[in-house]
Structure 1
């Protein structure tokens, strides 16, 4: 965009904020920009890109991120440069945390198998430390949801502050408003009504549906988790979670939870019964 004369200051301002903030969390090496692949144009009629685009995200084995430019993908220049830059900042800040999360791999049958990602663990046989949440649950006991929620809450905060510094205002049209609130973490459960869904069609409608599912299934559950286990101290627990995800060390987080909720809180909340099934132990031996 800079080559076409577009002002990209908001993105670079956000990059500086990412470096400073993540250094506080002991993440000194960010995802290299040359390992971020950005798709701006699609031959698919009606293609609509952005953070909630299908199959967008970080590939942990290849160690690169695949993202799309926000908005209609009929050409290589975004229709709304400011929104596209905010969306790219949110995606990059999010994927930097995935890139910087502690990971451990072993070889199983000649194939690399991830046994640790952040503060979640997995047996070589496939059993995860924490079980999936029941469908439609308003809260979470799943470490994957907690880590994803923590990463995106941080990315949204950085994006929101970048927009405020650049005085980028919320658009008035439906898609622009929803996208802006999604990028900046200001989307509410009441923002997407049944009537609004009826007004949208094609890939815009599909994009909004994915946006709603992510908000309900990840962001809202994570906010509920913070409110449940750290009322009045949500940001303290959030910071501890991010630091633990980056280091892979749960001791500080566990001690903080134990101090407020009693011994063994981390395991009591997150550990699935199936993690210690005899079959799992036998396969992991």
Structure 2
């Protein structure tokens, strides 16, 4: 075995920070319905052309020792960092499916492959290895490992974030997720950002940005320790900069044609819509204490308690800063802490 990341901890119904809503008269029915949905949910229907393998099988069968070391060191750092953030249980690696081959000649895998990521209903993750999926060879094994590390670290936070489920009209609904929530009509607490926004006031973008900041910081640390930047092939340098959180706007002035072009375009869209907006939000709202604000956001996402986050915002920006920044006029439910 390469790693022991808790394969015996696979949850049967609820994740580590998932909850059934308090005061629900139909609590037993809610638990039964949620368990039934999770027992029958399918994972890979969106990718019929891709062959998937469990993450631990992928890691155990790698012949490249350098790639194995990338993931080994990253997993150790990951466990320590997330424990500090209040997340003691990582996403079990037997709940992570990795796309390793494709029958489509132009299929290109990695963090930005479409229709992948964590599935809260299935308590599982669907990801793909970086590179051409029609080719069994790993053209850049250490970058493949680093990209998988980023995806796994990213989805561990999604797995471990606070969730609340309740019954609504006889259906199971996710009424709270991290620092976000929905009202009785299904409206989210914050409205979507404008398409050309340079920053964000949307809690979904804030949480996604915070999650990937953690994942990319971890990848950057491992890459620096192992000196990976000096060994990246020219064709993979953009992906390396993305994985390690070093992208700049000029990186996307020209996207070279080829199999990876759609992947790079998806990378650019994600960076502009999530990464860059979250960084600007931290700068605007946190100033020189941006790292402190980021830590408070992550802690609130994991534990579901927003009191430290809202108190910090109020101290710096005045009373009720959180609803002033984020609350949509269409939302009719309670504010955090109410």
User: Which residue is equivalent to 1:200?
Assistant: 257
User: Which residue is equivalent to 1:117?
Assistant: 177
Unmatched 5+ stretches in structure 1: none
Question: Of residues 83, 93, 116 in structure 1, which corresponds to 2:153?
Answer: 93
Q: Residue 126 of structure 1: CA displacement?
A: 1.5
Q: Residue 2 of structure 1: CA displacement?
A: 4.4
Partner secondary structure for residue 150 of structure 1: helix
Q: Within the alignment, does 1:186 sit opposite 2:246 as a pair? A: yes
User: Which residue is equivalent to 1:35?
Assistant: 95
Partner secondary structure for residue 37 of structure 1: strand
Q: Within the alignment, does 1:213 sit opposite 2:266 as a pair? A: no
TM-score norm. by structure 2 comes to 0.78
Question: Of residues 61, 64, 80 in structure 2, which corresponds to 1:6?
Answer: 64
Q: Within the alignment, does 1:253 sit opposite 2:304 as a pair? A: no
Root-mean-square deviation over aligned CA pairs: 1.4
Q: Within the alignment, does 1:236 sit opposite 2:236 as a pair? A: no
Partner secondary structure for residue 30 of structure 1: coil
TM-score norm. by structure 1 comes to 0.93
Work out the CA distance in 2 between the residues paired with 1:43 and 1:211.
23
Partner secondary structure for residue 165 of structure 2: strand
Q: Residue 125 of structure 1: CA displacement?
A: 1.8
Q: Is the 8 A contact 1:139 1:221 kept in 2?
A: yes
Q: Within the alignment, does 1:142 sit opposite 2:202 as a pair? A: yes
Q: Is the 8 A contact 1:113 1:124 kept in 2?
A: no
Q: Residue 83 of structure 1: CA displacement?
A: 0.6
Deviations 1:203-231 (A, max 9, x none): x1111111001100000000000000111
Q: Is the 8 A contact 2:140 2:233 kept in 1?
A: no
Pair 1:14–1:133, CA change in 2 (3 A): same
Work out the CA distance in 2 between the residues paired with 1:4 and 1:23.
28
Bigger mean CA offset, 161-170 vs 256-265: 161-170
Work out the CA distance in 2 between the residues paired with 1:125 and 1:187.
39
Work out the CA distance in 1 between the residues paired with 2:189 and 2:248.
31
How many residues of Structure 1 are paired with residues of Structure 2 in the alignment? Answer: 273
Work out the CA distance in 2 between the residues paired with 1:228 and 1:274.
25
Q: Is the 8 A contact 1:40 1:77 kept in 2?
A: no
Work out the CA distance in 2 between the residues paired with 1:234 and 1:87.
26
